[in-house]
Structure 1
Amino acid sequence: MTERSRLVVLAGPTAVGKGTVAADVRARHPEVWISVSATTRPARPGEVDGVHYHFVSDDQFTEMVETGQFLEWATVHKAARYGTPRQPVDEALAAGRPAMLEIDLQGARQVRETMPEALFVFLKPPSWDELVRRLVGRGTESAEERERRLDTAQVELAAEKEFDVTIVNHEVHAAAEELVALMMLNCEQPPSTDL
């Protein structure tokens, strides 16, 4: 029988590179299962439905909330709603696969309530200036949206102490490899005591 694996929850402030680190893990480590969140926000250029997110309407999202289909969900940046569908997470863990959620701080707090045994990893920028540079450099948000996200990021950075481990995202591949090493360590079976 396969032993359930331990869920790893990756969170951190906006523009820290959570999605980029998760994409690097997905590309280099196909053995790692990464949840695809549902969201009510429109797709950004290059994003594919079902790969980057499940893009759903407000009505679809509300129905998913009301029928208990989410492990966690939240309204983020006072705008769009995001949520983690519960069933695929349960299936990956039951199959014993290394499994990861890449979510925001609100979502991580909800998961801690329902799955306190998960490993909570905080992805931190090298500095505040670097975080601002990354957000502005993305060029995907209006000036008003950037300001709202930076206000949120200040609050999110203060939550680092709530997490089990911190990884500083100096460079995407290095951060991804550090994350995968943690995941593999947390998926290993305990040594046998049989002689």
Structure 2
Amino acid sequence: MGKRGKLIIFSAPSGSGKSTIVNHLLSKELNLEFSISATSRPPRGKEKNGVEYYFITPDEFREKINKDEFLEYEEVYEGRYYGTLKSEVERILNKGHNVIFDVDVVGGINIKKYYGDKAKSIFIQPPSIECLRDRLIQRGTDSSEVIDCRVAKAEYELSFAPQFDEIIINDNLMEAKEKVYNSVVRFIEEN
């Protein structure tokens, strides 16, 4: 039996640069594999099953919840679920790879509880709420109502930051990438 992989969990408010940081890590030689979430929503555009998400019906999702097949899940609104399948994590660990998660704060906390010391949870924090609002405005993809809603959600999510193993403030993206990389390398290399 080879060395089991480890789990690295990322959570952050929308607009904090989390996806950029996660993609940066995935481009490095860290034997990381991304944990693909399951969702009950239909594929959009060119999305393929088992690439962006595992697409399952709401009924299948509820059946898997009842069978305790999820590490964490959320019903975002009625019948629209997102979650992390235990089987997905096992699939990656069994290959001897490390698992990287990009999940919401509550999901991140739940995965950490489940795996304990085998997992490291990292919260990517924007320098401030004002800064986050500016970033969301600069993206130019959302209406002001949507931005207000995201900022309110971010304030709520920031209240969970202390429950994470590490908080990294993304003030300067280069520095944040470097800090995250060093932190992850240290964690992977611990026995």
TM-score under structure 1 length normalisation: 0.78
Partner of 2:13: 13
Gaps of 5+ in 2: none
The amino acid across from 1:84 in the alignment is: T
Relative distance call for 1:130 and 1:188 in structure 2 (3 A) is same
Q: What SS does the corresponding residue of 1:116 show, helix, strand or coil?
A: helix
Q: Confirm or deny: 8 A CA contact 1:3 1:96 kept in the other structure.
A: yes
Deviation at 1:176, TM superposition (A): 3.5
Q: What residue in structure 2 maps to residue 107 of structure 1?
A: 107
Q: Distance in 2 between matches of 1:45 and 1:133?
A: 29
CA displacement at 1:78 relative to structure 2: 8.7
How far 1:71 sits from its partner (Å)?
1.3
Rounded to whole Å, the distance in 2 between the matches of 1:137 and 1:45 is: 25
Q: 1:78-93 residue pairs with structure 2 within 5 A?
A: 80-93=80-93
Q: Is the 8 A contact 2:129 2:151 kept in 1?
A: no
- Residues 44 and 63 of structure 1: is their aligned pair in 2 closer, same or farther, counting only changes over 3 Å? same
Q: 1:140 to 1:186 in 2, by over 3 A?
A: same
The verdict on how the C-alpha distance between 1:41 and 1:154 changes in structure 2, with shifts beyond 3 A counting, is farther
Identical pairs, percent: 31
What are structure 1's unaligned runs of at least 5 residues? Answer: 191-195
Structure 1 residues 81 and 175: CA distance shift in structure 2, 3 A? farther
Structure 2 residue matching 1:71: 3-state secondary structure: strand
Paired with 2:124 and 2:107, the residues of 1 have a C-alpha distance of 14
Q: CA RMSD in A?
A: 3.0
1:94 to partner: Cα distance: 4.0
**What TM-score do the two structures reach when normalised by structure 2?**
0.80
Confirm or deny: 8 A CA contact 2:58 2:79 kept in the other structure: no
